[in-house]
Amino acid sequence: MFDSITHSFATIATGGFSPKNLSIAYYKSALVEIVIMIFMILSGIHFGLLFIAVSESIYDIWKSSIVRYYLLALMIGTTVTTLNVHGNQFHNWIEALRYSAFQIISLGTSTGFATADTSIWPSFAQLVMIFFTLQCACAGSTSGGIKVDRILILWRAITKRIKKLQHPTAVIAVKIDNVAIDDDVVEAGILYIPLYLGVVFISTVLLTALGVDSLSAFSATAATMGNVGPGFGTVGSMGNFSQIPEVGKWLLTATMLLGRLEIFGLILFLGVKSWK
């Protein structure tokens, strides 16, 4: 009962903290993993949409292009990772799908649970998981990361720019679910992505200067910035951050705050004089 309650809290909050050192791998149960995967996916969706789905119609949730992209991304990520680890880490297709799906969903919702040591997985699978570590889930959820909303806005803005090049005099708006997005919102969403990646880059460089290997430095920064948890290398899913130098731990603590407050929030907080 204690484990059930604590893991439920950690799943819905996409917090990923487990009272077991081996995380969910401790239970060696596919059924436990399936239940957690379902609720990790749900917890990565905007809670307002979940409320509408429960109070009105569950079909309303599928009308959101953001949710459709979110679920499609998880499906594609799981599929390509399964294909990559099969025959390399797992000789059984079911096992390859089981472990790939759990790791992708866990990182893609910034939950951070683990059932396998992904540090020894092929480089391609690790790169796919790094993408989900950076992107994470939907705005309005407990997930961290850049958020799928901003990624979708970026692609819609790119599509708009291509159309404008083809038709210079056309009036084209960036739309999500047939609703025009204000230019200020589009600009803020697009600018956040390079700012986010810039912080990850700077933190990675500083960690490597402290003697941390590049893979561990980059994945540790991406994981803490997105509040995901596990990275790769020495900070892998079955490892921890104890090997990071003391100064590096302070640096990663700062990136956790930056990621959780979404950078702009912390900048405004530090600029107290600007409140006047």
Element (H, E) at 180: strand 179-180
pLDDT beyond 70 at 211: yes
Tokens of 206: 């500083």
Contact 263, 193 (CB under 8 A): no
Average pLDDT of span 224-242: 91
Distance CA 259, CA 262 (A): 5
Which pLDDT score, from 0 to 100, does residue 227 have? Answer: 93
Judged against a pLDDT cut of 60, whether residue 275 lies above it is answered with no
Alpha-carbon distances of 158 from 116, 161, 173, 256, rounded to whole Å: 37, 5, 11, 30
Q: Tell me the pLDDT tens digit for each residue of 234-253.
A: 999 888 899 999 999 999 99
Domain coordinates in residue numbering, the chain = 2-275
3-state DSSP assignment of residue 3 = helix
Per-residue pLDDT band at 62 (split at 50, 70, 90): confident
pTM: 0.92
Rounded CA-CA distance 42/252 in Å is 28
Tens digits of residue pLDDT in 115-145: 999 999 999 999 999 999 999 999 999 999 9
Q: Which residue intervals of the chain are DSSP H helices?
A: 2-12, 30-43, 47-55, 65-85, 93-108, 123-135, 148-166, 183-209, 214-225, 246-260, 264-270
- Residue 119 to residue 219: CA distance in whole angstroms: 11
pLDDT score of 272 more than 70: no
